[in-house]
Amino acid sequence: MSESKNQKKKEKKEKKDYQIVKINGVKQKKLKRKPYEKELVRLQEELVKLQEWIKHEGLKVVVIFEGRDAAGKGGVIKRITESLNPRICRVEALGTPTEREKTQWYFQRYVNRLPAAGEMVLFDRSWYNRAGVEKVMGFCSDEEHREFLRSCPEFERMLVRSGIILVKYWFSVSDEEQEKRFQSRIEDPTKRWKLSPMDLESRKRWMEYSKAKDEMFAHTDIKQAPWYVVDADIKRHARLNCIRHLLGQIPYQDLTPEPIELPPRQDDMAYVRPPISDQTFVTDYYGGSIESTE
């Protein structure tokens, strides 16, 4: 096939799979829903293979998700976990530390959530709270912040030396796109819970968060555990790009079990079922049997 025919074929496919949208005043290609969902299913099947490999090899995997509020971290985590076994892959989203935890070594409560062999833990926010929200909102002292920047790289090198595979993602979203998502949450009653007072405060302190993030990167973007930045202005792209990248960080083999043949059911001739009237059923509001009119 000639080069011109290849080019035309490529353009035709792009026209079919993508739409042109304007984001922050710039025209960009956005993957349409159908090809997005098709690729997501393919990647989720690969995640299942990765899960089986982690279990088989006894790997210990930690994935950190950090970034701006409304950058889409939760959406990516949801797409990663929805097809996986929660006994192997679990999410940790720690709340505000208790009074007792505040007196502990800063990393102590996170260490307790680290994986055992054959597990993958996804941190929806992590120990980097100290470099972000705690720093900007004044929840830690300047000395505590400086100590975090000194000790965090050594802490992560120690994790890596112990055999933990550590992958860190920063989700980057423009202020225009973040504003749009905040407004969407305000308008949708099912999403308002996502807007905390801290989110609203972060909106006012955009530049302070930017400076804190830059300082955090300068100290913690280390060779043993680098930061990977995900452009999150287009959610679909962010999800696919992040999952695809994660799959590339851990070499794995396909251990998908062979198709299972179901054994025959036990003969129930000797079983007498109790009367249905003896059981309490949930009211069927959305269906029910249809009486025959014959």
pLDDT tens by residue, 88-141: 999 999 999 999 999 999 999 999 999 999 999 999 999 999 999 999 999 999
Cα–Cα distance, 282 to 210 (Å, whole number): 52
Least confident stretch, 60-69, 151-160, 255-264: 255-264
Cα–Cα distance, 132 to 145 (Å, whole number): 10
Show the tokens assigned to 99: 């009074």
Cα–Cα distance, 24 to 233 (Å, whole number): 9
Q: In what order do the strands lie in the sheet with 227-231?
A: 89-92, 119-124, 60-67, 164-172, 227-231
Whether the pLDDT of residue 290 is over 80: the answer is no
Whether the pLDDT of residue 281 is over 80: the answer is yes
pLDDT at residue 276, rounded to an integer: 85
**Buried residues in 115-151 as b, exposed as e (16+ CB within 10 A):** beebbbbbbbbbbbbbbbbbbbeebbeeeebeebbee
pLDDT at residue 293, rounded to an integer: 58
**Sign of CA pseudo-dihedral 150, 151, 157, 161:** positive
Please tell me the pTM assigned to this model: 0.87
Whether the pLDDT of residue 294 is over 60: the answer is no
126-185 pLDDT per residue, tens: 999 999 999 999 999 999 999 999 999 999 999 999 999 999 999 999 988 888 888 888
Report CA-CA distances (Å) from 31 to 123, 245, 287.
Answer: 28, 18, 37
Q: Are strands 18-23 and 26-31 parallel, antiparallel or unpaired?
A: antiparallel
Cα–Cα distance, 225 to 247 (Å, whole number): 16
Cβ–Cβ < 8 Å for 202, 69 = yes
DSSP state at residue 193 = G
Mapping DSSP to helix (H, G, I), strand (E, B) and coil, where does residue 267 land? coil
Show the tokens assigned to 96: 């505000």
Mapping DSSP to helix (H, G, I), strand (E, B) and coil, where does residue 122 land? strand
- CATH architecture, domain defined by 44-249: 3-Layer(aba) Sandwich (3.40)
Average pLDDT of every residue of the chain? 91
Cβ–Cβ < 8 Å for 156, 240 = no
Whether the pLDDT of residue 214 is over 80: the answer is yes
Mapping DSSP to helix (H, G, I), strand (E, B) and coil, where does residue 31 land? strand
Mean pLDDT of 32-59: 97
Q: Are strands 60-67 and 26-31 parallel, antiparallel or unpaired?
A: unpaired
Cβ–Cβ < 8 Å for 65, 125 = yes
Q: pLDDT exceeding 90 applies to what percent of the chain? A: 66
